[in-house]
Structure 1
Amino acid sequence: MNEPTPNALLTAARAALADAPRERIGELQEGRRLLGIPRAARIVPRGTAWHLGVLLLTDDEVLATGDIVRSRAEVRRGFAAESQRRRAELAAAAARGGVPEGETVHIGWHRLDPARLERTSTPLAVRGGEVVVRWSTAGGYMPLARYLDERIELLRHPPERA
């Protein structure tokens, strides 16, 4: 029996997710200068996707996740770490880009081509003739079909208090 192709698996996943909630995807645009004055960075919308762990599934593409930011208005405060400062800057950039406060937006994602999977592709790869997902850098590989089934179930029926 032939294994379903990655595109067939992703098409079936889209059908199963038709009425499931989506999340915003965006792209960070560093501020340009206007009359010599630098403008603040903002996150511009690039659509929506179903968030399936390490994958973002749009109507016609599959993306590898990057960073997830929750939009919040910019406020002045001290930070114990530079990473906290950067997260606050990204949250403010999301608000400047029009993401409603409290909503999440995915940035730093990249497109995957399921038709051209190579051994080094992340997080999708082909191992032993089967399309697999590497669900974490420390984790192993899982068959794409099983991964999609589990993630769709979690998205449609999240655990209590999740």
Structure 2
Amino acid sequence: MTDAAGVVASARRRLAGAPRARLGELVTPRLFAAARGPRVVPRGEAWHLGVLLIADDALLATGEIVRAHDPGRRGFTAQASRERAELALAALRGGFAEGETVHVGWHVVDLDAVARGEASGPVTLVGAVPSVRWSRGAGRMPLAEYLDERIALLLRPPQGA
């Protein structure tokens, strides 16, 4: 049996020097600052590996990924499109550079809970093996294999990617 914390620690060592993604948190202003609107404030960096983010001190489940920009005034055919545009503008307001990719809405995966046999985000034990569900409709894949595959893609992306 390999514990999830050990698998993640090993992944961190292999990722040293690899590019990281920025993390942000949506902050809604208090009463008098409401005129400025919500903003996404920086909350660190992590390696983006599919449905997981590996930070220096935590394993995170991904949330939304947006590119900071000002969408300008335009009509939207769907509420979801409007909300994504507002989130992109909030990232720009929060200090992210125009065009910068930001992870928002991520949450911490509790590796202690996984060790106890509980699910936390997309990670759980299957038998005695820490495993990850990499999409809603997919089965579970051993965490070590999943991270091996994702790290290889991050360090050596396919040509043209």
The TM-score with structure 1 as length reference comes to 0.92
In 2, Cα distance between the equivalents of 1:104 and 1:60?
21
Deviation string, structure 1 residues 81-138 (Cα, Å, up to 9, x no partner) = 1111111100000000111111111111111121221444320000111110010110
Which residue does the alignment assign to 2:154?
A: 155
Deviates most, 76-85 or 11-20: 76-85
1:146 pairs with 2:145: yes
Which residue does the alignment assign to 1:5?
A: 3
Unpaired segments of 5 or more residues in structure 1? none
Runs of 4+ in structure 1 off by over 4 angstroms are none
Equivalences for residues 18-29 of structure 1 within 5 A? 18-29=16-27
- Between the aligned residues of both structures, percent identity stands at 53
Equivalences for residues 109-124 of structure 1 within 5 A? 109-117=106-114, 118-124=117-123
The TM-score with structure 2 as length reference comes to 0.93
**Post-superposition shift, 1:74?**
4.5
Instruction: Provide the alpha-carbon RMSD of the alignment.
Output: 1.4
Asked if the contact 1:29/1:43 (under 8 Å) is kept, the reply is yes
Where is the helix percentage greater, Structure 1 or Structure 2?
2
1:68 pairs with 2:65: yes
Equivalences for residues 30-49 of structure 1 within 5 A? 30-34=28-32, 38-49=35-46
Asked if the contact 1:119/1:127 (under 8 Å) is kept, the reply is no
